[in-house]
Structure 1
Amino acid sequence: MFVGYVSWGHDLSFTILSLSLFLIYMIVDKRWLLFGFVWAYYLMASRGFLLGVESYYQSLGYAFLAWVSVATLSTLPWALIWSRSFKKRLLLFPFLLIVMIVPPFGFISWVNPLPTIAVLLPSFGFMGITIEVMLIYALALLWRKYTYARYYGIPLISIILILKIYYFPPTVTKNLSIESVQSDIEYFPVTFNKSKEYKTLKTFFYKVQNSQSLNILLPENALGNYSAVQSMLWQDLDKSRTVFAGATIYNAKRSKNINALLEIEHNRSKILYKQRVPVLGEMWKPFINKGTEATLFEQPIVQINGEKAGVFICYEQLLVYPYLQTFFYEPKILIGISNLYWAKDTNIKAIQKETMELWAILFGVPLSFSVNG
């Protein structure tokens, strides 16, 4: 419980504490102990989920049920894959990592400890993840075979971590070629209030016009339900400027929305990126012709100012699968947009930002992050 609370939503350096979750899997000798530890971790780390869902649906009962259900489902693979045999736990550990990355569990389970190795090994990329797994194996074997490791190993590792974080704290490189607009405007992911939507659109337009930058990044759904009518406003955009902004596009053929990042210039606009993993259940409804499209296997890389960019819209910033898929194509910059007005008083914004920063640090790429809320 302590690890889950401290690791996420405070300081980026603290996220490294979540790696103890992997070590706990290796060393505990009772399934119920592992279940209790992991369950408490997910509950405390995702505590903002409870408040955010309550704010969105105005129902504490539904929010509590969703919070506990997601934490329980995220914990199940740990308990089911765990074995009484230490050797089997070692062999099954890579399988556990895979299960927590790919669907279905990988699409509901966030605050994954995997990218936190960036705190120790910045710019190591996939090699850093490999070293992380080897380190967990080494610590587990030392704990198992040598009693003194239990008494001296943990204090020694703690001292090394503290010194590393104090003298060499993790820092993310900001993408200076794009101005990331941060806002606090009351608008929800999808709205049919045209008057309010137009007012929001005008607010963002004035922010762009008052900016000194040539490239501006706006938050998720900043353009609302984008259509030819909304696009007329952007015809007044300075010819020298390019705006990258979130919008909802309706796909009439499939009766679904597309949560997208648009590229807008003076006389044209185009869909640059479609969200790969919308929120399952609320946005992504795979078995009915409603909700938001998921584009799981489409090309995750786009071109921004002549550079390969990996784009992440809101929920997919919290997951592991979209990052691994993206970094396979070696992006040079990361772009993140979110609308978290409904969760503005929770730790969800901090966790999204921390997760994106960890991946940016791990692979040594600059980050642009625009959020409303």
Structure 2
Amino acid sequence: MKTVGLTVLAVAAGAIGWSGNPLTLPLAFGFPALWANSPSRIASGIMSAGYFLAASRGLPQGVVSYFGSGIAEGLALWLGASIAFVAVHAVLWTSRPGRGRAVRYAVAAVLMSVPPFGIVGWAHPITAAGIVFPGWGWWGLAAAAIGLLAMTTKVWPIATLVLAGAFAWSAATWTNPNLPDGWIGVDTEFGGERGKYAGFSQHRETIAAVNAAAAQGQKVVVLPEGAAGVWTPTVERLWLHELKGVGLTVIAGAILIEGQGYDNVMLEISGERMRILYRQRMPVPVSMWLPWSAPGGGSGGARAHFFANSIVDLAGQRIAPLICYEQLLIWPVLQSNTYDPDLILATGNGWWSGHTNITAVQRAAALAWARLFETPVVFAFNR
């Protein structure tokens, strides 16, 4: 009965906490207490599965939409993605209370933050640090980590009250980060299809939206992941020609094919030049990055640049880029924030997510990190 009760609470924490509303993220702070109070190792695994599967409940439908497959494939990938999270927390669970239990949870939290386990490390409770301790930066991250560890000890009721009080103050004074002057993110609704990229008509529509932003006085326009499609010399000439004399910089997502694989990139485009601004560190496993291929990618899949180009420079500003899946993970955003960025660029292409909450969860996670470090964030998503 205790296992059933804890699992129900874990499912609620996962489902409500990761609903896509940033103000519900702190419910994830309850997970360590549920883990610590599990009556057995098997129970901790069941409870962990309930939390993770509830938090990622949009994945099966997203898989069906992306691959055009049946629900069985979607359920298989959903369950497969949970294995790392469940295994790490079940193996490190201990029945002995005290400092050792807190240390074991700390190890689990770190393992789920960095590769290889961190590659599927979404729904990490530490993501809520920016909601509970906005503006505290690294001190807020440390405070959240201490709070999570305290939740595994006998003082968890006190830790709950402290965290709840901090959250109440944060919620009462909540404000979204301001956009920097002259910057704007443009959302699109082009939809999509696996293996299909921007055609000529889409390019024309996107360029028209960019010119409309320029007419309003914007200086930098951020477009979603994949907005510029497969980048070719012909596409480059089109964009350079259309932006010539406009006095505008466009940051657009694109696919850059090289050899047997490709890079998912952000491009900086103006009327004078184009340059590769960023190569994605962690593309979506299986659908983009193929774990069974060479470590850097290839074999037709996207390359993963795990710890590369964590910060980029644009117009004298340090930019922290996060493309789609990276917004759900821990190490990309923390790696970028070690360089004290002036701005976060959070882009995505969520056509495949349908009516699920996947893109809303991505936005909430990115916003939480932006609030933690008091860093402006520019969003641009395609639906």
TM-score (norm 1): 0.91
Equivalent residue letter for 1:130: A
Q: 1:197 aligns with which of 171, 179, 199?
A: 199
Equivalent residue letter for 1:222: A
Q: 1:237 aligns with which of 243, 246, 250?
A: 243
Shift of 1:166: 4.6
Partner of 1:297: 307
Equivalent residue letter for 1:109: G
- In the superposition, relative to structure 1, how do residues 276 and 270 fare at CA in structure 2: closer, same or farther (>3 Å)? same
- In the superposition, relative to structure 1, how do residues 39 and 302 fare at CA in structure 2: closer, same or farther (>3 Å)? same
Query: In the alignment, is the contact (CA less than 8 A) between 1:189 and 1:339 conserved in 2?
Result: no
Any idea what SS the aligned residue of 1:266 has? coil
Query: In the alignment, is the contact (CA less than 8 A) between 2:66 and 2:194 conserved in 1?
Result: no
State how far apart, in whole Å, the 1-side matches of 2:375 and 2:127 are: 14
Give the length in aligned residue pairs: 361
Partner of 1:282: 287
Q: 2:79 aligns with which of 53, 60, 68?
A: 68
Q: Which moved more, 1:308-317 or 1:170-179?
A: 170-179
Any idea what SS the aligned residue of 1:21 has? helix
- In the superposition, relative to structure 1, how do residues 103 and 166 fare at CA in structure 2: closer, same or farther (>3 Å)? closer
Partner of 2:91: 80
Any idea what SS the aligned residue of 2:274 has? strand
Write out per-residue CA displacement over residues 326-371 of structure 1, whole angstroms, 9 at most, x where no aligned residue: 1111111100111111113110110100110011111110000100
Cα RMSD, aligned residues only: 2.1
Any idea what SS the aligned residue of 2:268 has? strand
Partner of 2:328: 318
Partner of 2:273: 268
Write out per-residue CA displacement over residues 234-290 of structure 1, whole angstroms, 9 at most, x where no aligned residue: 1121421111000011113xx211110000010311101000111122211233532
- 1:129-208 matches, cutoff 5 A: 129-143=141-155, 149=157, 153=158, 156=161, 160=165, 163-164=168-169, 166-169=171-174, 171-188=176-193, 190-191=195-196, 197-208=199-210
Partner of 1:100: 112
Equivalent residue letter for 1:289: S
State how far apart, in whole Å, the 2-side matches of 1:310 and 1:346 are: 27
Equivalent residue letter for 2:359: K
Identity %: 26
Partner of 1:361: 371
State how far apart, in whole Å, the 2-side matches of 1:343 and 1:279 are: 13
Q: 2:101 aligns with which of 77, 89, 93?
A: 89
Partner of 2:50: 40
Shift of 1:301: 0.7
Shift of 1:228: 0.8
Equivalent residue letter for 1:203: E
Q: 1:25 aligns with which of 29, 35, 46?
A: 35
TM-score (norm 2): 0.88
State how far apart, in whole Å, the 2-side matches of 1:369 and 1:164 are: 26
Shift of 1:4: 0.8
Q: Which moved more, 1:174-183 or 1:240-249?
A: 174-183
- In the superposition, relative to structure 1, how do residues 139 and 112 fare at CA in structure 2: closer, same or farther (>3 Å)? closer
Query: In the alignment, is the contact (CA less than 8 A) between 1:39 and 1:75 conserved in 2?
Result: yes
Q: 1:109 aligns with which of 121, 129, 139?
A: 121
Structure 2 unaligned regions, length at least 5: 1-10
